[in-house]
Structure 1
Amino acid sequence: MIHHALLERMHTHIASWEATGDRRSIFLACYALMTRNMLDGITAGRFDDNSWVHTLVHQFAEYYFIALEGYERGAGWLPDVWRQAHDLTRMEHVSPLVHLLLGVNAHINCDLTLVLDDMLRDEWGDLAPSLRDSRRNDYLMVNTIIGETIDIVQDTVLERYSPAMNIVDVAFGPLDEWCTSRLIRNWRRDVWHQAMVLVQTQDPQTRAELRHQADIQALGRMRLVIKGGAFGARAFGLSRRWLRRLGLMAD
């Protein structure tokens, strides 16, 4: 089946990276778990439009693999947030939790904004209000499934790299609480809003600038983790509205 091919593709990279100690495996192992749960949710009929979500899952993954290929080839078009996230996996002093969160940041705050624009732009103007609500409901169901995966990520991925992960970095607090209350709620709400602005923007130059802005904003969050100490780590998961209020992110 098609979705098995996607998981096999992920696990092929994970096995290769784990064999060589390449820490890019940390994020991808987490992502594979969440992808498996998403595909199980589609099979179980948890979405209003399971076919649409199936396409979303695969196009979202394709953004990751295209960026990965671009990084390995040294491509100039690669989003900076992915270039820096991959570069940092070579730094042994960076904690496994930070490797994970930087990958999640790049994939959600940059890639997810763009894939939603890709999928919704052509259909949005013709969708009845009920179908627009259905698309958003399916998007929110993804949040629920991600939340259901957090404990598995901590138990099966992070603790392999850092046995002390049951006492997560004080700067972040408990992983499940931090991810479910901040990352899922705040980031994905921001991403939906940003995608809606993109979808409804017609001018090609403005659209190109808005798509590039997704990379810039994800970079801003990355800098909070890398340079902001404990305060930056906690602010990392705040909504863009609060980051702007605190002077941590430009408009």
Structure 2
Amino acid sequence: MTQPIWGPVQRQMSTILQEHPDDVPAVVTQLQALQDVLCQVPPLLNSNPLADFNKLYLAITENVLDRLYAGKFKDPAFLSRLDVEFAGRYFDALRYWTEGSPACPGVWAGLFTRIPGPDARPLPSAVAGVNAHINFDLPFALVTTFDHLGTDPIDGSDQHHDYLQVNDIFAEEIPGLRRGYLDRWQLLIDTMNGDLDDWWQGEMVEYTRNVAWRNAQKLWAIRHDLAQLDHERRRLDRTATGLGKLLLSPFADFLQ
């Protein structure tokens, strides 16, 4: 009999992934439930590389929810729908992996295979998850969001303004989250570097999310051409998968 992918928490994981959240509070709830279960997956438990990403994703999403409650977005319907569509692609990838489905994107599979360890490191693992979610998932989430709302991805629009505001959320959250992944000696080096590490990682997130917006505009233009759309999906997956391998390689230890 094949060993369950999630070991002793296979049933809990399957139950969580049966849910399909339809608003941002439900996304937060599902991410919280995932975090609890991921930290119980043997053999790494709390050092599970996917838990490292999920923790970061949860913090960002909670900040988005706080801003929604505070009325900080110009088009809250857009931001809410994008958050749901975005999270759904992550949950779908997990569902496919749990079911052993070939539909699981290659970029996510590259991170999921690291779950048993032993060479997973916290910060590169979290960044590899961000790579999968932004470079691959985000353009498609934007397309389905605009399609649902009946609007176009236009530069300078209220939707684009709100999209860029999420960069500010990353800038707020990155310093504390990044230091949470570091060992004591790494924290000493980080202190010596001042704000440099926080700055360049914030710049990388902003650049990557800008590329995702441009890719979404390209996908939007071909959304009715299924063959071309599938070609672009495979291309983006290959590109993100290659970057993910680099991020999870010994070369990426500089991140840590």
TM-score between both structures, scaled by the size of structure 1: 0.79
Q: What is the aligned partner in structure 1 of residue 228 from structure 2?
A: 206
* Runs of 5+ consecutive residues of structure 2 not aligned to the other structure: 1-21
Residues 54-69 of structure 1 aligned to structure 2 (within 5 Å) = 54-69=80-95
Q: What is the aligned partner in structure 2 of residue 85 from structure 1?
A: 111
Amino acid in structure 1 at the alignment position of 2:246: L
Q: What is the aligned partner in structure 2 of residue 152 from structure 1?
A: 176
Change (3 A) 1:223 1:23: closer
Deviation, 1:33, is: 0.5
Task: Please state whether the residue corresponding to 1:208 is helix, strand or coil.
Answer: helix
* Runs of 5+ consecutive residues of structure 1 not aligned to the other structure: 235-251
Say which of 160, 164, 177 aligns to 1:136: 160
What's the % identity of the aligned pairs? 25
Say which of 77, 91, 108 aligns to 2:134: 108
Task: Please state whether the residue corresponding to 2:181 is helix, strand or coil.
Answer: helix
Change (3 A) 1:23 1:219: closer
Q: What is the aligned partner in structure 2 of residue 242 from structure 1?
A: none
Change (3 A) 1:33 1:146: same
Q: What is the aligned partner in structure 2 of residue 8 from structure 1?
A: 29
Is 1:35 the equivalent of 2:61?
yes
2:49 and 2:120 in contact (8 A); partners too: no
Deviation, 1:217, is: 1.6
- Aligned-residue Cα RMSD (Å) equals 2.6
1:154 and 1:165 in contact (8 A); partners too: no
Change (3 A) 1:217 1:233: farther
Stretch deviating more after TM superposition (216-225 or 45-54): 216-225
Q: What is the aligned partner in structure 1 of residue 206 from structure 2?
A: 185
Q: What is the aligned partner in structure 1 of residue 239 from structure 2?
A: 217
Is 1:18 the equivalent of 2:39?
yes
Deviation, 1:121, is: 4.0
Deviation, 1:198, is: 0.6
Change (3 A) 1:140 1:164: same
Is 1:196 the equivalent of 2:217?
yes
Alpha-carbon distance between aligned partners in 1 of 2:68 and 2:226, rounded to the nearest angstrom: 34
Alpha-carbon distance between aligned partners in 1 of 2:235 and 2:163, rounded to the nearest angstrom: 21
Amino acid in structure 1 at the alignment position of 2:212: V
1:59 and 1:115 in contact (8 A); partners too: yes
Stretch deviating more after TM superposition (20-29 or 96-105): 20-29
Say which of 113, 117, 123 aligns to 1:97: 123
Task: Please state whether the residue corresponding to 2:113 is helix, strand or coil.
Answer: helix
